[in-house]
């Protein structure tokens, strides 16, 4: 038994909403459709431009229900297309594969392309250069590995450190950290994850700007985001704050963003002067 990765077209307005609303999506699949067998695992891919997570990658897992040689998107599917595309799609029949959505992955388990680009099983696989609207075949081994990776929280590097290492150790490691070269195929520059971990620990679960006590996420972590006050290149504990999503949005997009960022800089400097 094999597995399949499906990459949707640019036309879907909101991939996550789409996959939640349409439990049995029909995916256009001329090339591979006839080879797909009922029950085989299916992984749905999101482009970087469509992604809430800042990277391309896999956001849903399901299984093949059936192949429809003359399939047609149903009204439920069509809601998620551009208005111009709807009329055209309504009138056309094409080979479709119908699959059942089993798991939807959000930011905790969204499997980013970056991870796959460094993975021995996927590094050289054409999955990474998947065209829009196309399908890639996976070996059984690869499909099993995707399942394993999707079951593991992956966006938690700073959080793992935050919960596991003592403060002194975090600070020693943050100072000693040297940014190595980005790994081959990685599109992300290496980050010092110790610094965000220090800020999260220092916040004590409260926004370091507005002091709001953050509610917990499903993994029992306070919902706080790490903000680099003077840009990503300033990766020191006194240049990074753990702030609530609201304050973070205001700093980046709000009318008083600059003022609040300046205030955060002072507050963090005060806290750090005690270390």
Helices (H), 58-139: 75-78, 83-91, 113-117
- From 32-40, 116-124, 222-230, 266-274, span contacting Zn ion (CB under 5 A): 222-230
- CA–CA gap between residue 233 and residue 147 (Å, rounded): 35
Q: How far is the CB of 252 from Zn ion (least distance, A)?
A: 6
φ, ψ dihedrals at 97, nearest 5°: -115, 135
Name the nearest CA neighbour of 20 among 68, 73, 77, 65: 77
**Binding status of residue 214 toward Zn ion by CB under 5 A:** no
- From 57-65, 71-79, 99-107, 223-231, span contacting Zn ion (CB under 5 A): 223-231
Q: How far is the CB of 196 from Zn ion (least distance, A)?
A: 11
Output 123 or 228, the one with its CB closest to Zn ion: 228
Q: How far is the CB of 249 from Zn ion (least distance, A)?
A: 9
**Binding status of residue 227 toward Zn ion by CB under 5 A:** yes
- CA–CA gap between residue 120 and residue 267 (Å, rounded): 44
Number of Cβ atoms within 10 Å of the Cβ of 72: 15
Parallel, antiparallel, or unpaired for β 135-138 and 3-7?
A: antiparallel
Size of the site for Zn ion (CB under 5 A): 7
**Binding status of residue 195 toward Zn ion by CB under 5 A:** no
Output 120 or 215, the one with its CB closest to Zn ion: 215
In the complex, the residues that contact Zn ion under the rule CB under 5 A are 207, 209-210, 212, 227, 244, 247
């Amino acid at each position: 038994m094999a597995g399949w990765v499906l990459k949707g077209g640019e036309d879907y307005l909101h991939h996550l909403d789409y996959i939640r609303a349409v439990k049995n999506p029909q995916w256009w699949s001329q090339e591979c459709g006839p080879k797909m067998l009922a029950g085989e695992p299916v992984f749905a891919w999101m482009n970087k431009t469509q992604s809430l997570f800042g990277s391309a990658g896999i956001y849903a897992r399901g299984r093949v229900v059936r192949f429809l040689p003359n399939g047609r998107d149903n009204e439920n599917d069509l809601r998620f297309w551009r208005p111009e595309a709807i009329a055209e799609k309504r009138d056309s029949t094409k080979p479709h594969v119908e699959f059942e959505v089993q798991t939807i992955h959000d930011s905790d388990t969204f499997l980013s392309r970056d991870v796959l680009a460094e993975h021995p099983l996927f590094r050289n696989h054409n999955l990474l250069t998947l065209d829009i609207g196309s399908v890639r075949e996976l070996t059984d081994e690869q499909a099993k590995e995707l399942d394993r990776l999707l079951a593991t929280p992956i966006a938690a590097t700073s959080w793992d450190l935050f919960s596991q290492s003592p403060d002194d150790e975090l600070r020693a490691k943050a100072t000693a950290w040297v940014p190595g070269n980005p790994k081959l195929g990685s599109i992300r520059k290496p980050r010092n994850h110790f610094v965000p971990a220090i800020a999260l620990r220092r916040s004590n679960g409260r926004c370091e700007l507005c002091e709001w006590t953050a509610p917990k996420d499903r993994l029992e972590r306070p919902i706080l985001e790490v903000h680099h006050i003077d840009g990503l290149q300033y990766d020191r504990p006194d240049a990074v704050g753990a702030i609530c999503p609201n304050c973070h949005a205001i700093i980046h997009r709000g009318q008083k963003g600059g003022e609040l960022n300046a205030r955060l800089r002072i507050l963090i400097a005060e806290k750090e002067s005690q270390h």
